[in-house]
Chain A
Amino acid sequence: MRGNLYPVVIAIIIGIFVISSGCTDRPVEKVPVKVVAAGSLLVPLADAEARYEALHPEIDIQVEGHGSIQAIRQVTEINRPFDVVAVADESLIPDLMYCPVQNGEGNYTDWYTTFARNEMVIAYTANSRYHDEITRDNWYHVLSRPDVRVGFSNPMLDAAGYRALLVTMLAGEEYQDWTIFSRVIGDYFDPPLVVENEDDIQTVRLPQVLKPLGNKIAVRDGSVFLMSLLEAGGIDYAFEYRSVAEAQGVPYIILPDTINLGTDQFNQEYHRARVILGFPRFSVIGSERTGMPILYAATIPSTAVRVEEAREFLEFFLSEVQKGGRGWPEPLDTPHEFPWNINTMAAGG
């Protein structure tokens, strides 16, 4: 009897071992790939994340949004281990990341690739005052009316904010009306924002605390609040990125290329306007913001934990950007170059 039971006991134990060990159907732990990005990239990144994770169920793309400077600072100053950095101003990567890693080796990065462009527009709704008469030729007349409320992001916090000021300054040259800035924005702050013109460069210096006078102007921390205020009727018009207006599904006025910061062709013209911020919010970067085309750029920091996975996701994301989508910045025509695909390190796109 005992001899007959012995193989049965062993078989039962082996069976329990195999079933309970879970080795036959081992659950897959997802590999996190951490992405830090500008707020205006959150819509396309959310779309790309869903598609990529459907193709690669073993990967967990984790996206965190900030203003572009703050996004880079997460890596360079707060020492967080992000695998991909994507920002709305290509100049920030060489300015802030081509520098030695704290307590490490090499620079935070030595390359980046540009992948999309954007432009400033005037967003509005069907409830905006005078929406049925505003055009790309008269927008500054409409916005300067005392009963029209205008909004833009805080220039201290959001590139779209100082870009709103740059566009309005450039409009003076475009329409040969040097009162546009003061009538639309400048006169409605305490103290007033005044444009100085020296050596053919227009400059506005912001006070430390930007205080709107009355209800004509609304300044909010970021696009999400500005668009919410627009849709609630708290403002009639908002200076915004075209992709943000499209993502929100609101109509917008397209501005002339000479002032919309949207094309390389007018780089020199854009350079003729600049904003000097009220204080250096971040010690790593100065307070001067000069007009230039809005170009998106991405890199993989040398401090990335998941380098291979980050490369694969970045290549996928940029290929998705090429296809485009609602609320996505416009893709560039130039092919992407990655240092792992070419023999020399690329400085720029």
Chain B
Amino acid sequence: MIRTIQTGLILLMLFIVGAGCINPAPVSSSPAVTVPVEDYRSWTLTVNGTARQVYSLAELRALPATTGHGFAVSTVGIKYGPYICRGVLLTDLLERAGGISQGDQVWISAPDGYLWVFDYDQVQGNGFITFNESLKEIPPPPLRILLAYEFDGSPLTYNDGAPLRVAIISDEKNVVTEGSAWVKWVDSIEVHRKTQ
């Protein structure tokens, strides 16, 4: 009897170990993106206007927040979204730094070396190309530029541009905008005056 139980247990062990063959470990364990372990306590956003202001993420989150629908498309037609974006309006940040006037430009950049320039009209939400979900061009509804720190109620992931990225938002769902302006990992906003 004991011998039978022992043999049965050994076979059961073999079964359990061998059953691992059903779900072998993936061949590739490399992540799609190298995601550094981030601690955003040392991260800051610098806004250089008439005044120079530096925000921590906590300070940015303490400012009045805006929420809107955002949906981007890459230069080769890959769609990202739709998202419910939450963050601070670019116009609000600029206002706190002295505001901008017709003819001024806003340069938004990130530590990965990416830079995008918005003119005054764009800062007001004008002059963007918009598409429907099928990427057919549609007349643009009212748009706003957001410095977003949340997508769909969660903090941005690194791949999404954490901790802060540009999002072009609308009150309407499924309005797609060109992704080139959606700067990821934003840490600098500069106002370039017309006379510069």
Contact = CB atoms under 8 A, between A and B. Distances in A.
B122 interface: yes
Contacts of A305: 28, 30
Contacts of A67: 75-76
A157 interface: yes
B122 A234 contact: no
Contact of A77 (B33, B75, B112, B118): B112
Given A279-B107, A281-B116, A224 B22 contact: no
Nearest to B122: A209
Interface residues of B, number: 46
A349 interface: no
Interface stretch (B5-13, B49-57, B86-94, B146-154): B5-13
Contact of B24 (A29, A209, A228, A281): A29
A282 interface: yes
A21 B179 CA distance: 48
B27 interface: yes
Among B20, B24, B136: residue with most chain A CB under 10 A: B24
A224 B15 contact: no
B102 interface: no
Given A6-B4, A77-B113, A221-B178, A31 B27 contact: yes
A222 B21 contact: no
B76 A65 contact: yes
A20 B15 contact: yes
B172 interface: no
A13 interface: yes
Interface stretch (A78-86, A125-133, A142-150, A331-339): A78-86
Contact of B114 (A26, A32, A208, A282): A282
B136 A228 contact: yes
A31 B28 contact: yes
A117 to B, nearest CB: 21
A29 B26 contact: yes
Interface in A270-295: 278-284
Interface in B66-112: 73-78, 105, 107, 112
A228 B135 contact: yes
Judged by DSSP, the binding face of A is loop
Contacts of A280: 115
B6 to A, nearest CB: 12
Nearest to A17: B15
A313 to B, nearest CB: 15
Given A81-B30, A208-B117, A282-B113, A39 B12 contact: no
A65 B113 CA distance: 20
Given A228-B135, A279-B107, A279-B115, A13 B78 contact: no
B132 to A, nearest CB: 12
B32 A211 contact: no
Given A221-B178, A281-B116, A13 B8 contact: yes
A135 to B, nearest CB: 30
B64 interface: no
Given A29-B26, A225-B135, A281 B115 contact: yes
Contacts of B7: 10
A16 B16 CA distance: 11
Contact of B22 (A21, A208, A278): A21
Given A232-B136, A281-B115, A209 B75 contact: no
A32 B137 contact: no
Given A13-B11, A21-B18, A211-B119, A157 B180 contact: yes
**Nearest 8 CB-CB pairs, A to B?**
A283-B113, A222-B75, A21-B18, A65-B76, A39-B76, A224-B77, A22-B22, A17-B15
22 contacts: A14-B11, A16-B15, A17-B11, A21-B19, A26-B24, A80-B32, A80-B33, A81-B34, A156-B180, A209-B117, A221-B179, A221-B180, A224-B135, A225-B77, A225-B135, A225-B178, A228-B135, A234-B137, A281-B115, A281-B116, A282-B114, A284-B113
Given A29-B27, A154-B180, 10 more contacts: A13-B15, A17-B11, A17-B18, A21-B19, A23-B18, A29-B26, A78-B33, A209-B118, A281-B114, A283-B114
